Each structure stands twice: as C-alpha cells, then as structure tokens.
Amino acid sequence: MDYINILKDLSTYPGVSGREDKLSGYIAKMFEKYCDSVEIDEFYNVIGIKKGKGGLGRRIMVTAHIDEIGLIVKSIDEKGFVTVSNIGGVDSKVLLAQEVIIHGKKEIYGIIGAKPPHLLTAEEIKKAVKMEDLVIDTGLLAEEVRENVSIGDIITFKVDPFVLQNNRLSSKSLDNRAGVAALLDIMENLTLLNHNDDVWFVATVQEEVGLRGANIAAYNINPDLAIVIDVCHGQIPGTPKESVFPVGKGPAVAIGPNLHRKYSRKMIEVAKEENIPYQIDVEPGDTGTEAWAVQISREGIPTLLVSIPLKYMHTVIETLSIDDIKNTGRLIARFISMTGNEMEEVLC
C-alpha cells in the first residue's frame, strides 16, 4: 500500500463532523477493493463486510472515525469578512494565518486573520485569541461573499501535507484518517490470512461531536466483539510521559474498565508472539474514544481500543509515523485471524 499518498489524499479530503457524505462515498470506493459488500447507512457510516471462513456468523466490528474537526460560518460583516464557530475541539490559538476553504455554493479560499499585532494592547497580546475575534478574509467583495456563502456553511483547513524524516507524515485530519488507513491495511492483510469470523469494517461519522456514528453502528451491527482504532497523543517535549506515546514505537493497546480485559490481554499476547512493536495505554476511565459508546451498546459489547500515536492533535500539522499505522494493521489482522477459534475460550 502506498501509505503516504493514500494518507495525503484521505487527510486533505473534506469531511467535517455531520458533513461526511462525500467523504463516505470516497471511502466506500476504497473499501470495495477488499470487501465482499459495502454499504453506506443513513448517517453516512461506511460499512464493509469481509466474510470469514467459519460460517458461524460471528461478527467482529472494527471502527475508525472519518470525521474531522472544522469551522462553521457564523456571520458575514459589511465588508465581507466571515466570522466563525468551531465544530469539535478546535484550539483558536493555532488558527491565525491559517488557510481555509469555505464550502459555500462554490469552494472559496480564505485566510484567517484578526486584529493586527501592532494594534494590540500589552494585555491583549498575552491573552489567547478568541474564536469570536477571528475573521476569514476571502479577498472578495462583500456582495460576492454574500452570494456564495451562507451562515452555517462548513469551513475546512487547507494544508500541504509534509513528509518528514523517518517516514513521518504531517497533515490535517490524520485524526482519524490514519485509522481509516489502518482499516485498509487490515483488509489487505486479511486477504492473505485465514479468518473464521465475519469482519465488519465501519468508517464512522460524528465522533468529534459525541461518538454518534459508532453508537448507531454498534446498535445496528450488534457485533460479538468490537475493535476501535483511533489516535492517541504522541510524545512531545513538556508533556507528562505517562499520558503520551512516542511516535514510531508501535500502536498503543488500551487497558482499563472501558476495554474487555481478556481480549486486551490477548491482543498484547499476539503483539508479543508476532514481534509487533506495541505500547500499553493505561486508561482508568473514559478513553474519550468510540470504545466508550460501543461498550455499552445493547446488552454490552466486548470492546478493544488500539491507538496510533499522533503529535499535535487537532492542529493542521498532526504528525505520525507510517510504521505505526502498518503495525496497527498487522496487529489487528493477526488478532482477528487468531481469535476465531479461541473466542469462546477467551469469553468464558
């Protein structure tokens, strides 16, 4: 798999929470290459099924959310400058001088500005710039802006993905398009590995605004086991070592009450047996991922969480190691192929 190019395309494809429709279609096409059937549900979750050889009808659901954080048009002023609100957890401090696309009647390029620095008071310059003080400059006349942009239109960030040293990639929305790449990797791996259970791959929507897509998918699919793939914080200077994970040292397997204890152990065993690098992600409570919603769907679903370390989460320079994605794919594919017969045993 050409991970760098697939991720460049995936990460720059617009798909803010609640507006994933086009992205879902794009991802469904990617799924079709590997899956026996692919469908898009009413919420635009993409569901790809890869049948197992066991014929037992047992279902393993593997999810990765496809939505990204973004902005939404709040108002247009008399000169045509556009003010914004956020969708999902956006840090207003990283938005100045950022290029954006407003998805109005047509795509409109703009730049995020604010009151210029030399006009700020000493007090103002220390305080974080607020979302309501940011404006988008489209370089268009006011009437042209009004013709094409409406309140509620979605805004995405415009970035040039950067390939860094050591097979690292920096782009927007790698949270969680990296997870989508991992899904593809699992599919590819499973074309070579035997697996007894049916695998339901779900590219989910609306994670960033409250784990909504996964909630619905878990209910509809009602799987026997769920594996959630998301990102975790990559290690950077000035952060507590216990809550961050070095990039390039393998996926993080979560353990804690949100996750099924025996399956988590099994996942770690597989990593050891297969010599796949991994890290342990200790989660004493809410994992902040879809696992939190999926676990308590219907009569309860044994759930696992595997995370890809990602630096600068929720910025336009999210940075990860391609190797971590590959190892995530390998680990989960091996796990799926090995659990088949042992499932009863683990569950007892």
The residue among 93 and 298 lying less far from other proteins, judged by its C-beta, is: 93
CA 80-81-85 angle, to 5 degrees, is: 130
DSSP helix/strand/coil, 56: coil
Contact between 227 and 289 (Cβ < 8 Å): no
CB of 63 to other proteins, least distance (A): 21
Q: Looking at 20, 207, 283, 290, which residue is catalytic? A: 207
**Beta-carbon contacts of residue 142 (< 8 Å; ≥ 6 apart):** 76, 77, 78, 79, 80
CA distance 336 to 136: 47
The dihedral formed by the CA atoms of 125, 131, 134 and 140, expressed in degrees to the nearest 10: 170
Measured from the CB of residue 299, what is the shortest distance to other proteins in angstroms? 32
Residues in contact with other proteins by CB under 8 A are 77, 79, 81, 89-91, 93-94, 96-99, 109-111, 113-119, 125-129, 133, 135, 137-141, 144, 159-160, 162-166, 168, 170, 233, 236-239, 243-244, 248, 311-317, 319
Q: Tell me the closest approach of the beta carbon of residue 181 to other proteins, in angstroms.
A: 18
Consult the annotation and say whether 118 binds a ligand: no
Neighbours of 319 (CB within 10 A): 20
Helix (H) or strand (E) holding 330: helix 322-339
Q: 118 or 344: whose CB is closer to other proteins?
A: 118
Q: Are 252 and 279 in contact (CB under 8 A)?
A: yes
Q: Is 175 annotated to bind ligand?
A: yes
Indicate if 107 belongs to the active site: no
Confirm if 222 and 143 have CB atoms less than 8 A apart.
no
Nearer to other proteins, 170 or 339 (CB): 170
- Please list the residues that pair with 110 across neighbouring strands: 100
Closer CB to other proteins, residue 169 or residue 343? 169
Closest separation between CB of residue 300 and other proteins, Å?
28
Residue 233 labelled as part of a binding site:
no
Residues at the annotated binding site for Zn(2+)? 65, 175, 208, 230, 314
- Active-site residue numbers? 207
